[in-house]
């Protein structure tokens, strides 16, 4: 589990922990994910680091972050693929009009229900992970 606010020292430790060499581009990309409260696209981090890192490195780094579980993919039902830091377990509410995203963490009841669903299943015993996104309209767009 990662801390909410990460420092450069943390980035170095995290990369080491995940068996990734600590390069400056990896640090910079990790910093972008940690500084962003919302899921972002690979191209968003590219836009922020345009003059510092080439596009191929960004995509390669994001793919290796995903592989070691440092970031996770979020399904926002959009054309582009979104990722966020894999630090704490939460779910999302998404506005279908403006794209606003809110995290929610009031999970305990939901998590219990999901556990019961698996218990009742005759064909599934182990669930490795789950994601839950609610899609609707935010108060600004009503």
Instruction: Tell whether residue 93 is a contact of Zn ion (CB under 5 A).
Output: no
Nearest to 33 by CA among 75, 87, 81: 87
Instruction: Tell whether residue 97 is a contact of Zn ion (CB under 5 A).
Output: yes
CA atoms in the 13 A half-sphere facing the CB of 74: 25
Strands 101-104 and 133-136: unpaired
Instruction: Map residues 100-119 to x or -, x wherever contact with Zn ion holds by CB under 5 A.
Output: x------x------------
The nearer residue to Zn ion, 13 or 69, going by C-beta atoms, is: 69
Q: Minimum distance between the CB of residue 96 and Zn ion, rounded to whole angstroms?
A: 8
Residues engaged in binding Zn ion (CB under 5 A) = 95, 97-98, 100, 107, 138, 141
């Amino acid at each position: 589990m990662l801390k909410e606010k990460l420092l450069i020292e943390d980035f170095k430790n995290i990369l080491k922990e995940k068996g990734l060499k600590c390069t400056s581009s990896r640090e910079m990309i990790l910093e972008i994910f940690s500084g962003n409260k919302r899921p972002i696209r690979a191209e968003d981090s590219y836009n922020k680091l345009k003059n510092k890192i080439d596009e191929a490195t960004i995509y390669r780094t994001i793919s290796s972050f995903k592989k070691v579980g440092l970031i996770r993919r979020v399904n926002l039902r959009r054309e582009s693929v979104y990722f966020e830091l894999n630090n704490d377990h939460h779910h999302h509410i998404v506005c279908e009009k403006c794209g606003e995203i809110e995290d929610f963490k009031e999970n305990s009841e939901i998590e219990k229900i999901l556990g019961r669903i698996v218990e009742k299943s005759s064909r599934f015993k182990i669930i490795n992970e789950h994601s839950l996104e609610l899609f609707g309209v935010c108060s600004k767009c009503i």
